[in-house]
Amino acid sequence: MRNLIQALKTSKRLMISPTLAKAYVESVSDLKINVDTKASDVKEILAMMFGEQPKMEIVGKTAIIPIKGVIGRGLSDIEKMCNAVDVNDISSNLHEATHNPSVEKIVFDVDSPGGNTDGLEELAEKIYHCSKFTEAFSENGVHSAAYYLASQAKRFSVTKSAEVGSVGIFMAFPDVSEAYAMEGVKMEVIQSGKYKAIGLEGTSLSDDQRAYLQNDVDEGHADFKNAVKRRRTFVKDEDMEGQSFGAKKAAEKGFVTGIVNSISDVIISDYA
C-alpha cells in the first residue's frame, strides 16, 4: 500500500504494529504483476493471496460492516484487494446502515493490524456518536488504529483467540547518513527554519527536530488514550503503552466488554 510505504519513510504518524507493517509491505512487494498481466488475472492472483474483499451485509436487523486489513484513506481498487480497507468506505457503510430504517444494530467485524491515521479521528467520532446501537467484534487481531475505531462502539466482543490493543503511535526515519558517508557522499542542506527538511535522506535528525517530532507523537498518543477512555472507561493509561493482550486479559483490563464464541452470538444479542 503506497500510503503505508510512504509513511514508513517520512514523518507521517502511524498507528500500526511495526512488525505487522513490515510483514504486510513484504507480502505486497512479493507480488509478481506487470503491465502485461490481464486485469482478470490480477484479480484472481490477489484473491488467492489475500482472499475476497469483504462487503457490508445485512442479517435480519443487523448491519455487519467489515474493517479488515491495513487501514488507509483514498485507496485504489488494487490496494483494497491487497488486504487493505479505506476509512471512506467504512464511513459510507456506516452512513448507509444508519439511514436504513430496517437496521437496528450495527456490528463492526474487525481484523486489522492498524494503519495510517488519515481520516481516523473523524471516523471514530462518527462511530462514537452513531444514533444506532453499535458493537465491535473480532475473532483475530484488533491493533492500534483498528482498536481506535473498535473502542468507540458501545460494546466490544471478541472470541477467546482474539488479540487486542497496541495503543500507541510511531514515526519511522531510516538514518542512512553513515551509508552515504561510506560511499563518500556528504549531504549538505541549505534550509530556512530548523525544522525544514526533517528526515531528508542522507541526513540525521537534530536534537530540536527529534524533540519536535516526539512532541507530535506524544500529543497524538494522548488523544488516542482519551478517545479510548471516553468509551472504555476502565482502561488504565499504563496498559496503553503499545502492548497487546489476549482476549481474557483484554476483558479484565476493560479493553473489551465480553467474550463470545462467534459473530453469531453478537448478531442475536440484545441491544443493551
Cα–Cα separations (whole angstroms), residue 207 to 98, 182, 202:
48, 23, 16
Helix ranges (DSSP H) in the chain: 2-9, 18-29, 39-50, 77-81, 87-98, 120-128, 145-150, 177-182, 207-231, 247-252, 263-268
124 vs 197: CA distance, rounded Å? 32
Look at the alpha carbons of 193, 199, 201, 205 in this order and tell me if their dihedral is positive or negative: positive
Instruction: Give the pLDDT of the chain (272 residues) as one tens digit per residue.
Output: 567 766 666 667 899 988 888 778 777 766 666 555 555 665 666 666 677 788 999 999 999 999 999 999 999 888 888 889 999 999 999 999 999 999 999 999 999 999 999 999 999 999 999 999 999 999 999 999 999 999 999 999 999 999 999 999 998 877 888 888 888 888 888 888 888 888 788 888 889 998 999 999 999 999 999 999 999 999 999 999 999 999 999 999 999 999 999 999 999 877 65
Cα–Cα separations (whole angstroms), residue 110 to 22, 44, 55, 209:
20, 24, 12, 36
Cα 211 from chain centre: 25
Cell 446502515 appears where? 97
